Structure formats: C-alpha cells, structure tokens
Amino acid sequence: MVRETNDAERPLRADAARNRTKILEAAAQVFAQRGLEATLDDVAEAAGVGVATVYRRFPDKGALVVALFEDAVEEIAALARRASDFEDSWAGLTFFIEEVLQRECANQGLRDVIVGSPYARERMALAKQRIGPVLGELIARAQREGLVRADLVESDVLVIEMMISTLGGAANKAAPDLWRRYLALALDALVTRRDAPRSLPAAPSAEVVLEALRASTARRGALRA
Amino acid sequence: MVRETNDAERPLRADAARNRTKILEAAAQVFAQRGLEATLDDVAEAAGVGVATVYRRFPDKGALVVALFEDAVEEIAALARRASDFEDSWAGLTFFIEEVLQRECANQGLRDVIVGSPYARERMALAKQRIGPVLGELIARAQREGLVRADLVESDVLVIEMMISTLGGAANKAAPDLWRRYLALALDALVTRRDAPRSLPAAPSAEVVLEALRASTARRGALRA
DNA sequence: CATCAACCGGAGGCATTCACTCCGTTTTTA
DNA sequence: TAAAAACGGAGTGAATGCCTCCGGTTGATG
C-alpha cells in the first residue's frame, strides 16, 4: 500500500520501519477524519509515537501529506479514464462524480488536497491538468447525445463536488450518507429533462443536518468562539 | 439604521457618538467582506479609530456582531413571511431562497451568523424557530400543488443555501454573480418535473471558479500553509 | 555479550494570531 | 479653564502549531 524506504538508502532499522508504518496508518486515519488541519502532534499521538519520530521519517508535514495522498490522487485520475470508457456517457459521468464524492466524503484530507491545500498544491494542479480534458470530453459526449444540459461546464462538476463534499465530510459521524441525498439532487439538475424526480435517500433529522452544516463551515475564528 | 445610545443612559459625547457610527459602518463593511473571522483590530483600523475605542462602545466582539446583524436576521424572518404570502407557492419559495442567498453572498458575516457562529448563536437559533415553520408550510403548499418534488424537506433549503453561499461569498470579487448559476441549477433540481432546463447564468473562466473554490474552503491550517 | 550508531520521546523554542486592557495624552463640555 | 469623558496603540496573556534539542533507550553487528 505504501512504498518502502527510498531505493538507494540503507534499510531502516526494524523498529524504525515499524514506526514508519504506524505513522502512515495513523496519519491516514487522522487526516481522513479531521482533514489536513490535524496536527502532526495528533498524528504522532494516534500512532503511539513521539513527534520527533514523525519528523525523523518525514521532513515536514507536506512530505507526509504527499506520501499519503499521491496514490489517492492517482486513483482519481484513473477513475476519470474509466468513466470516459463507459459506453453510456451519462452513466460514466455519474460514475465519476459518485466515486470521487464518496472518497472525498470519507476522507477530509483527500478533500483538502483536491480543493487546493498548499501542502500538496502543485501536485494536485498537475493531476487536474490530466483529469480535466478527460472529464471535459466525457461531458461533451454526454451533451452531444443530449443527455446532459448543454450549458454544463467542466468546472461545474468540480464545484458541485466541492459543495457536496463540504457537507458530507462534516456529517460523517452523525449521517455518513447524507451526501448521497444531495448528490441525487444535483444529478437531477444536470440532466436535460426529466419527468419524475429520482427518489432521494432519506434526510436525517433537522438537528443532525444543522449540526453538519455548522461543522462544515468551521472556519476557525468565524465559528469557534 | 442603527439604534441610538442606550435609553436610560446619558448621551454620548459628540466625538464618541461620531466614532460609534464610524465603527458600525466599518464593521459592516469589513465583516461583509471577510466574515466574522475579521479582527476587531481590523474593524478599528477601517474605522480610523483605535481598538480601545471599539471596546469602549461594545463590551466584546459578540456584542458588536449582534448589534450589526440583528436587523439583518429580522429581515430574513420578514422575507419568509412575505414569501409565504405569495399566491404562487413556487414563486414564493424561489423568492425566499434567492433573496436570502443574495444577502448571504454579499455578506460573509451574515452567512457566518446564519450558519451558526458562536458570536450570535442563540440569537440565530431563536430566529430559526420562527422562520422554520413558515418555510415548512410554504414548501408543503408547493408540494400539495405538485410544483416541488415531494421528498423535499425544510432543512434541504438551508443546506442548499449554505452550499451555494459558501462558494458565492468567496467568489465575490472575481465573479460576484457566480452564485446565481448554482442557484439556477439548484432550482432545476427542486421542481417535480421539467422539460428544457432553465438557462444558466454564464460560468466565468475555470481559473476564477477554481480560485473561488479554494477561497471558499479556507479552513485555516488546512489550506493556508 | 558488548559496543555504538541509530532511534526514541516529549519538553520546549519560536513565531503567529487574536481578544482584550492599561495608561499617558487629547478633546469636549460646562 | 478645569474636570470628565474619550482617545490611541503598545502591550498582555492565552492559544495554536510547526518543528528541534537532547538525554536516554534499543537494535544491529562482531
């Protein structure tokens, strides 16, 4: 799952290698749950390790983030290619949107990376350059076939995913599938025409939704006292 | 526009009253643009006044926020009532959503208040208790008339407004009307059935959109380096 | 089993941010 | 003109967060 020690260097001592793994696992867990705003101290604690040990393996927070998420980003690029191979372009498009959204909602850290965290900014910019055209072509095909509204633009998809994942990630504990409701709603907006609306996954109680709402906008300072 | 000095107290000195006004105006401006995460030091500077002067007039940040936004919140409650008076329930609903959204997008501070900033939390909770039923009834009426999808729920409206205003507020400088595009999209999702999609306000360049995206999720730490 | 490089932990260092206060000076009012 | 009111902005204290230092421990090696 994670690349072993650098190729040209002598292997790590057994305990060091063990700790490196523990760190990556803990980081995956912590960043997924709390996003990149989690501290390396948090990661260290979750790994049952001192902070210094983390910094001994990874020069800084950004390095750890990149190590953790480059696979995930790669996977998204692969999803775009798979989506564009669908016979049914609309199915391909929804496939892509849903798969990405699911990953973003399950993983706040991934979402931060995608939306442009400076910890992995240019890495992500590169990926976007590859994904963009593929996605754009898929949309164009769906439009040619009259399945998707003609005025839809590639960046709309990004925006929609960002809007939904903001809520989805925050709601994760109380209502892990809340995002599916708004995905369904969004998809209904993308088609050229429809008769009956597709059925929506059930909404949780208003309290849960409101709480998710608040959590999702937690720009510090604005929302914490 | 803003209430004068407290009723029972002796009137402020001329310069003090003048400054109080300048502070409120500056705060309105600053909070609108940058949200409640703006500092009282920022407000003071914008007002051309020392921080102490701000604190002399308002015991703390929360007091200033409440003084600034209670009218705006009240106005939203009024909008809900006006909306429910519409003959055409769908028109009423879209009226409400659009008016609120416009205010939220033009005013990040208002958005923070609505979404649950602790600076005005219970104030807002009270307002929601009044607005909720009115909005709920309006939705129910539109559903009875077959205009709005049957599975729409009151909190959905809140969620949609929050999702769009997140983006809209952030995009304010580069693309002040970007939110209208996603509002149009969202409305297309709410109706029971439609043939042609309503036309969408034009999308700005992808760069602008991406930048807005990034700005809108600026949870500090996750996105600032 | 002895040696020592590699590794470990976690207490700080350092820089930043932000709400709020203190106090010597200035302005208003009576 | 003098006292009361108000002023400004440097300063305080409390977080927060990235990262480092260093005295002690542990694992590979002969």
Examine the pLDDT at A2 and tell me if it is beyond 50: no
Report whether B127 contacts B110 (CB < 8 A).
no
Res. B223 pLDDT band, cuts 50 70 90: low
The gap between B1 CA and C9 C1' (Å) is 60
The gap between B64 CA and D4 C1' (Å) is 26
**Co-location of A127 and A211 in the same domain:** yes
Three-state secondary-structure class, residue B165: helix
Helix (H) / strand (E) element for B72: namely: helix B61-85
Res. B207 pLDDT band, cuts 50 70 90: confident
**Co-location of B164 and B123 in the same domain:** yes
pLDDT tens-digit profile of A81-114? 999 999 999 999 999 999 999 999 999 999 999 9
Number of residues that make up chain A: 225
B179 part of a folded domain: yes
Query: What mean pLDDT do residues A12-26 have?
Result: 97
**Co-location of B104 and B198 in the same domain:** yes
Closest CA to B113 of B127, B99, B102, B131: B127
Examine the pLDDT at A135 and tell me if it is beyond 90: yes
| Most confident stretch, A166-170, B108-112, B209-213 | B108-112
Q: A106: exposed, middle or buried (C-beta count within 10 Å: 0-12, 13-18, 19+)?
A: middle
Number of domains observed in the structure of chain A: 2
Q: How far, CA to CA in Å, does B67 sit from each of A184, B47, B114?
A: 40, 16, 15
pLDDT tens-digit profile of B58-115? 999 999 999 999 999 999 999 999 999 999 999 999 999 999 999 999 999 999 999 8
Determine the Cα angle at A162 with ends A157 and A167, to 5°.
135
**Would you call A209 and B37 a contact, using CB atoms and an 8 Å cutoff?**
no
A138 part of a folded domain: yes
**Co-location of B103 and B167 in the same domain:** yes
Q: Which nucleotide shows the minimum CA-to-C1' distance to residue A53?
A: C8
A222 part of a folded domain: no
Examine the pLDDT at A42 and tell me if it is beyond 70: yes
The gap between A14 CA and D30 C1' (Å) is 19
**Co-location of B131 and B118 in the same domain:** yes
Q: A108-115 and A121-144 helices cross at what angle (nearest 10)?
A: 80
pLDDT given at position A9: 67
A25 part of a folded domain: yes
> How far does CA A146 lie from the centroid of its chain?
29
* Structural domain containing residue A126: 69-216
Report whether B70 contacts B78 (CB < 8 A).
no
Interface mutation vs chain A, best among B111, B159, B208, most A CBs within 10 Å: B159
**In whole angstroms, what is the distance from residue A29 CA to residue A31 CA?**
6
**Would you call B119 and A220 a contact, using CB atoms and an 8 Å cutoff?**
no
pLDDT tens-digit profile of A147-162? 999 999 999 999 999 9
Put residue A35 in one of left, alpha, beta given phi > 0 → left and psi -120 to 50 → alpha: left
The gap between B111 CA and D10 C1' (Å) is 34
Nearest to A217 among B115, B181, B199 (CB): B115
Res. A172 pLDDT band, cuts 50 70 90: confident
Report whether A179 contacts B202 (CB < 8 A).
no
**Cα Rg for chain B, rounded, in angstroms?**
20
Single-letter amino acid, residue B139: I
pLDDT given at position A211: 83
**In whole angstroms, what is the distance from residue B144 CA to residue B158 CA?**
21
A134 part of a folded domain: yes
Residue B77 tokens read as 């409650």
Does residue B173 sit at the A interface (CB-CB below 8 Å)? no
pLDDT given at position B10: 78
**Co-location of B132 and B166 in the same domain:** yes
pLDDT given at position B1: 39
CATH number at A109 reads 1.10.357
pLDDT tens-digit profile of B145-157? 999 999 999 999 9
Does residue B151 sit at the A interface (CB-CB below 8 Å)? yes
Least confident of A82-91, B162-171, B176-185: B162-171
Interface mutation vs chain B, best among A42, A151, A190, A195, most B CBs within 10 Å: A151
Report whether A28 contacts A68 (CB < 8 A).
yes
pLDDT given at position B6: 44
> How far does CA B148 lie from the centroid of its chain?
24
Least confident of A38-42, A72-76, A167-171, B126-130: A167-171
Residue A139 tokens read as 């949309």
**Co-location of B148 and B168 in the same domain:** yes
**Co-location of A176 and A137 in the same domain:** yes
- pLDDT mean across residues, chain B: 91
Report whether B201 contacts B184 (CB < 8 A).
yes
| Percent above pLDDT 70 for chain B | 92
Examine the pLDDT at B5 and tell me if it is beyond 50: no
Closest CA to A190 of B186, B100, B59, B71: B186
**Would you call A151 and B206 a contact, using CB atoms and an 8 Å cutoff?**
no
CATH number at B182 reads 1.10.357.10
What 8-state DSSP symbol labels residue B194? Answer: B
B103 part of a folded domain: yes
- pLDDT mean across residues, chain A: 91
The gap between B57 CA and C18 C1' (Å) is 19
**Would you call A162 and B217 a contact, using CB atoms and an 8 Å cutoff?**
yes
**In whole angstroms, what is the distance from residue A147 CA to residue B198 CA?**
15
Tell which wins on pLDDT, A146 or A9: A146
pLDDT given at position B173: 85
**Co-location of B194 and B85 in the same domain:** yes
Q: B100: exposed, middle or buried (C-beta count within 10 Å: 0-12, 13-18, 19+)?
A: buried
Three-state secondary-structure class, residue B191: strand
A5 part of a folded domain: no
What 8-state DSSP symbol labels residue B73? Answer: H
**Co-location of B69 and B53 in the same domain:** no
Single-letter amino acid, residue A13: R
Res. A225 pLDDT band, cuts 50 70 90: low
pLDDT given at position B7: 45
**Co-location of A106 and A49 in the same domain:** no
Among B58, B73, B90, the domain-final residue is B58
Among B58, B76, B93, the domain-final residue is B58
Examine the pLDDT at A220 and tell me if it is beyond 60: no
**In whole angstroms, what is the distance from residue B104 CA to residue B1 CA?**
19
Nearest to B222 among A117, A217, A224 (CB): A117
**Co-location of A109 and A211 in the same domain:** yes
**In whole angstroms, what is the distance from residue B207 CA to residue B203 CA?**
11
**Among B residues 82-111, those touching chain A with beta carbons less than 8 Å apart:** none
Least confident of A61-75, A116-130, A131-145: A116-130
Closest CA to A189 of B160, B99, B138: B160
Tell which wins on pLDDT, A157 or A198: A157
Across-strand partners of B194? A194
User: Is the CB of B23 less than 7 A from some atom of nucleic acid strand D?
Assistant: no
Least confident of A6-20, A197-211, B48-62: A6-20
Examine the pLDDT at B181 and tell me if it is beyond 70: yes
B210 part of a folded domain: yes
| Percent above pLDDT 90 for chain A | 74
For A116, the closest chain B residue by CA position comes to: B214
Helix (H) / strand (E) element for A134: namely: helix A121-144
Res. A222 pLDDT band, cuts 50 70 90: low
**In whole angstroms, what is the distance from residue B118 CA to residue B133 CA?**
23
